[in-house]
Amino acid sequence: MSVEEQAQERREYPRAPLIGVGAVAIKDGKILLMKRAFEPGKGKWSIPGGLVEVGETISDACAREMEEETGIKIHVLELINAYDMIVPDEAGKVKYHYVLIDFLVKPIGGTERSSVEVLEMKWVTYEEARQLDMTNSARKALQELFGSTGP
């Protein structure tokens, strides 16, 4: 079983909520979005992020996940908000349950590249982002941060 399959297996029907972090990176007035390669949200645009590892702070997890998924090094600036993401299956049993903690971050280096978790990534304006098929949690993070005005 691949690393990705093992990670997906532990995410479906969890015994307890999983803690995830997300990074809203802005450069030159544009936001970095990525198209997800795996469920939940496969094929949708989202902000980079992933799960917090045992013994890791949430800001360290945010920086690690951003670099792993995109190659970009960041400085975590501030907390945007925390969200519940609970997705039931057809029978009503909880298939996914995350507590998502999103941060505003500043790119500080690295070389852009996509990991296996990313189908595509691009820098877009807030108006462009609003037109994309985004995950609900990414849309919430951007609305919380920018409202209707954008960066």
Spans of all domains in the chain: 3-146
Q: What is the pLDDT of residue 39?
A: 87
- Whether the model clears a pTM of 0.85, i.e. scores above it, the answer is yes
Residues 6+ apart with CB under 8 A from 8: 38, 39
Percentages (nearest 5) of helix, strand, coil residues in the chain: 25, 40, 30
Asked whether the predicted pLDDT for residue 5 surpasses 90, the reply is no
User: What sign for the dihedral angle of Cα 147, 83, 88, 134?
Assistant: positive
Q: What would the pLDDT profile of 8-47 be if each residue is shown by its tens digit? A: 557 899 999 999 999 999 999 999 999 999 988 999 999 9
Kindly state the tokens that stand for 62.
């945010």
Name the H helices within the chain.
3-11, 58-70, 126-131, 136-146
Kindly state the tokens that stand for 54.
């045992």
Q: What is the pLDDT of residue 1?
A: 41
> For 3-146, which CATH class?
alpha beta
Asked whether the predicted pLDDT for residue 6 surpasses 90, the reply is no
- CB count in 10 Å sphere of residue 87: 14
Q: What is the CA 127 to chain-centroid distance, rounded?
A: 19
- The span from the first CA to the last CA of the chain, in angstroms, equals 42
Q: What would the pLDDT profile of 106-142 be if each residue is shown by its tens digit? A: 999 999 999 999 999 999 999 999 999 999 999 999 9
Judge whether 120 counts as a catalytic residue. Answer: yes
Q: What would the pLDDT profile of 63-78 be if each residue is shown by its tens digit? A: 999 999 999 999 999 9
- CB count in 10 Å sphere of residue 82: 12
Residue 88 pLDDT class (50, 70, 90 cuts): very high
Q: What is the pLDDT of residue 143?
A: 92
Measured between alpha carbons, how far is 27 from 65 in angstroms, rounded to an integer? 18
Pick the catalytic residue: 78, 120, 127, 128?
A: 120
